[in-house]
Structure 1
Amino acid sequence: MDHMLTLLLRLWPFVFLIIMISAQDNVCLRPEMAANIEMDGLQRYFSPGVEVALSCKPGYTSLLGPRKIVCTIRGEWTKTKFMCIPKMCPSPDPPSNGELYYEDTVYQSTINYTCNEGYVLNGASTVMCLASGTWSAPTPECKSVSCGLAPIPQFGMIIYDRLIRGGTIDYGVTGTYRCRPPFALFGNARAECTASGKWTETPECRQVSCPPPENINEGFMSVSLKEEFDFMDTVNYGCNGDYVLEGNLQIVCQQNGNWSEKPSCKAPCRVDIRRGRILYRGRKLWIEDLQPNKLLHGEIVSVYCKDKAGKCGYAVSTQCIDGVLKIPECFEEPSGAAYNLYANTLPSEIKQC
């Protein structure tokens, strides 16, 4: 019994409210608000004749009207076209040397700012349209990236590609590193002030030496007598007598401590025929008139062959290669009688094909 009494006492306020509501003919329930519209208080039931003021949530502005609705005796609210639309922020301008990205300029819209390569953003990279109709931060600046003077390796230097004034260097400026002899450069010789405001990796200057160079067969070299040669030191070569130098006249001590490729001396050749006529240096010569009988390496000489079907002669070239001169297979050396008595019938003397 006591339990039931306690329960009735607790429910009494709600029972009284229901009785009071029922006592009235019609009441209005709390109106359902359209998007972004609000009203003051938390009251849930309204008597006929009660006016309620409508307003816009922060970040929105009113459009049309009226701004008030009234509870009628039928328990319904009067009609209104009142609506709230988002506030707009001013159209943004892109930063100098940068870009912006956005879809709209209404309340809670955002703008993302970026800078072109070689520039760094000074300010907010993202801003939002506030309830006040203003952006959360001013347009940022894009300031050009700069580096200090390029670091110099020990025993080295840098040569900039353009005139530098002061201690600040703009993004994109480049230069070339060099080392003072006898030091060699290890790493990238080119330097650049990058978009991060830092220089590319600095190379090193290391001392390099080469052992005494070796001589070449049938040749000589011009070199001072010393046990070590420094980086970029050079040695010249030459050949004895009629030998011909093939390759570079000069070798150089390289970065890896080795000499560049040595040249070689190539031997002369002999035209190994006893009878016949040859074409040498633009002249037709009888072989016995070639004095001395010697061709230098790389020189070309022609012998004469016969086209028996066409009954005509033609010249075939061959080249002296390091002491070897191959006589073309078509060449037929005449007999002594034919050579001495009937020279006008030789392939070199008859009609040429």
Structure 2
Amino acid sequence: MDRTVSIFQLKMEDRTSFILLSSLLLLTCGTSGQDNAGCVRPILDAKIELATNQTHFSPGVPITLSCKQGYTPVSGPRRIVCTVDGTWTNTRYMCIPKRCPYPDPPAHGELYYEDTVYLSTINYTCDEGYTLNGSSTAVCQANATWSTPAPECKAVSCGLAPIPQFGLIIYDKTVRGGKTYFGTGGTYRCLPPYALFGNPRAECTISGTWTRTPECRVVTCPPPDNIEKGYMSNEDRRDFDFMETVKYGCNDNYALDGNMEIVCQQDGNWSEMPSCKASCPVEIQRAKIEYNGEKILISDLKIKVILHKEIISVYCKDTVRNCTYPIPTQCIDGVLKLPECFEELSEFEYNLNSTSHPSEIQQC
């Protein structure tokens, strides 16, 4: 009869230690149907191989064990012998996978792997702005070496940025040797009187090319008009170039509303023109007011006029609570509206000690 001997498989899962794989044999021995007893070919662990294709063995015949490609032997003995009772002698012969050297990540890149034993795989990637020069994968071979050397991660370069006619570029950082790299940026400008059309910002992209280059075109504006109640710094009746400016001012008792300077814009039009607004007479005879952050008697206001958009504050009285509160009012193009609650002092009250004025009474 056939008899089966099971030899157990051992395994240690530790990256820093041997992975002990079973080389224990499942041997089937017995009669071969012939008169003489012997052994049948042993059933081996998948990692172990025999040096012969023979299927039946006589007592006393030895077999030499070896490891398949990519595996290395551990323990022993390496040879088993067919015994007279039809069994094979015992062995602890085991084969473990060979291990490749631990890989280092490429500069400016990363690698991913689960193990470094035979048939393990490494995957390489590069950081943004770098391209892989070499193979992106490597496999641990039977001779314990990686199938390909580690690749390099090379920076993406763009060369110098293209310059538009009549323009220039100012790089964000110093550029040397005629080379620029991914992420390098700059700002385009046009030489006067040319105007820039397109994106003024430039950047070396991940594809190794620069973003679209803008154009520099001639732009002019027609002669500007003067403003009512005012004057201008340049009355030449000519076309003005892009970015040229003209300044405005107002006649006495008028204030400029808007920017004092207009500029010839990219679309061939002037920026918004200012206007001259009338000042406001302060028709108060007897009171203390707030003006430019100070409390003053109205008689101390040298010219009883404030300019457009200037503000004064007058004081109203809360007779119920016996307290006062300031109310601001603003000059708008010659009109200064006083609040209804405001009451001028009598001549006697005004000339009396100023500490009794509403502005000096406890504030509400």
Query: Which letter maps to 1:267?
Result: A
Q: What letter is aligned with 2:297?
A: K
Q: Tell me the distance in 2 between the aligned counterparts of 1:303 and 1:245.
A: 25
How far 1:86 moved relative to its partner?
A: 0.6
Q: What's the counterpart of residue 188 of structure 1?
A: 199
**Normalising by the residue count of structure 2, what TM-score does the alignment of the two structures yield?**
0.76
Q: Which residue of 2 aligns with 1:23?
A: 34
The answer as to 2:291 corresponding to 1:299 is no
Q: Could you tell me which residue of structure 2 aligns to residue 125 of structure 1?
A: 136
Question: In structure 2, how many angstroms separate the alpha carbons of the residues matched to 1:51 and 1:280?
Answer: 119
Q: Are the equivalent residues in 1 in contact too, given 2:32–2:40 (CA < 8 A)?
A: no
AA in 1 matched with 2:311: I
Q: What are the Cα deviations for residues 98-125 of structure 1, in whole angstroms up to 9, with x where unaligned?
A: 3332222211112222333443333222
**Which moved further from structure 2: 319-328 or 33-42?**
33-42
SS across alignment from 1:256: coil
Q: What one-letter code is carried by the residue in structure 1 that aligns with 2:275? A: S
Contact 2:315 2:326 in 1 (8 A): yes
Q: Which residue does 2:286 correspond to in 1? A: 276
Which residue is 1:326 aligned to? 337
The amino acid across from 1:103 in the alignment is E
Greater mean alpha carbon deviation, residues 148-157 or residues 22-31: 22-31
Aligned positions of 1:40-51 closer than 5 A: 40-51=51-62
2:259 to 237, 240, 248: 248
2:65 paired residue number:
54
Question: Partner of 1:234 in structure 2?
Answer: 245
- In 2: Cα distance, 1:203 partner to 1:344 partner: 69
Q: Deviations over 1:156-186 (max 9, x none)?
A: 1112234433322344433221112232223
Residue pairs, 1:116-155, within 5 angstroms: 116-155=127-166
Question: Cα RMSD over matched residues?
Answer: 3.3
**8 Å Cα contact 2:101-2:116 kept in structure 1:** yes
% identical aligned pairs: 60
**For 1:53-102, what per-residue CA distance to the aligned partner results, in whole angstroms no more than 9, with x for missing partners?**
22111101111122222333333332221111111112223333333322
SS at 2:256 equivalent: strand
Structure 1 pair 245–60 and aligned structure 2 pair: CA distance change class (3 A): same
User: Which 5+ residue runs of structure 1 have no aligned equivalent?
Assistant: 1-19
| CA distance in 2 between partners of 1:144 and 1:314 (Å) | 69
Deviations along 1:113-139, one digit per CA (max 9) or x if unpaired, are 233344333322211111011111223
Q: Assess, with a 3 A threshold, how the Cα gap between structure 1 residues 100 and 306 changes in structure 2: closer, same or farther.
A: closer
Once residues 167 and 45 of structure 1 are traced to their aligned partners in structure 2, the CA distance between those partners, rounded to angstroms, is: 77
Q: Paired residue for 2:91?
A: 80
Task: Tell me whether 1:285 sits opposite 2:295 in the alignment.
Answer: no
Question: After superposition, what is the alpha-carbon deviation per residue over 1:18-64, rounded to whole angstroms, capped at 9, x for unaligned?
Answer: xx953334343322111311124443333333332221111011111
**Other structure's SS at 1:235 match:** strand
TM-score, length basis structure 1: 0.78
- Does structure 2 conserve the Cα–Cα contact (< 8 Å) formed by 1:313 and 1:350? no
1:134–1:343 distance in 2 versus 1, CA, 3 Å: closer
Question: What corresponds to 1:6 in structure 2?
Answer: none
Q: 1:54 and 1:272 mapped to 2: Cα distance?
A: 120
Partner in structure 2 of residue 202 of structure 1:
213
- 1:106 is aligned to 117
* Cα distance in structure 2, aligned partners of 1:283 and 1:78: 120
2:224 alignment partner, SS class: coil
Task: State the secondary structure of the residue aligned to 1:22.
Answer: coil
How far 1:314 sits from its partner (Å)?
7.1
Q: 1:320 to 1:66 in 2, by over 3 A?
A: same
Deviations 1:282-316 (A, max 9, x none): 54235xx9776432213334555555457787765
Name the count of aligned residue pairs.
326
Amino acid at match of 2:120: S
Greater Cα shift, 145-154 or 277-286 = 277-286
Shift of 1:278: 5.0
Change (3 A) 1:230 1:108: same
Deviation at 1:214?
4.3
Q: Is the 2:48–2:68 contact (alpha carbons within 8 Å) kept by the matching residues of 1?
A: yes
User: Cα distance, 1:226 vs. partner?
Assistant: 4.7
Instruction: Give the whole-Å Cα distance in 1 for the aligned partners of 2:323 and 2:76.
Output: 117
Q: For residue 244 of structure 1, give the secondary structure of its aligned residue in structure 2.
A: strand
C-alpha contact 2:134 2:152 (8 A) present in aligned 1:
yes
Instruction: Tell me which protein shows more helix as a share of its residues.
Output: 1
Contact 2:64–2:80 (Cα < 8 Å) also in 1:
yes
Deviation at 1:192, TM superposition (A): 3.1
Q: How does 1:205-220 map to 2 (within 5 A)?
A: 205-220=216-231
Unaligned runs of 5+ in 2: 1-30
> What amino acid is the match of 1:77?
W
Matched, 1:160 2:148: no
Measured in 2, the distance between the counterparts of 1:264 and 1:224 equals 17
1:123 is matched by which residue type in structure 2?
Answer: G
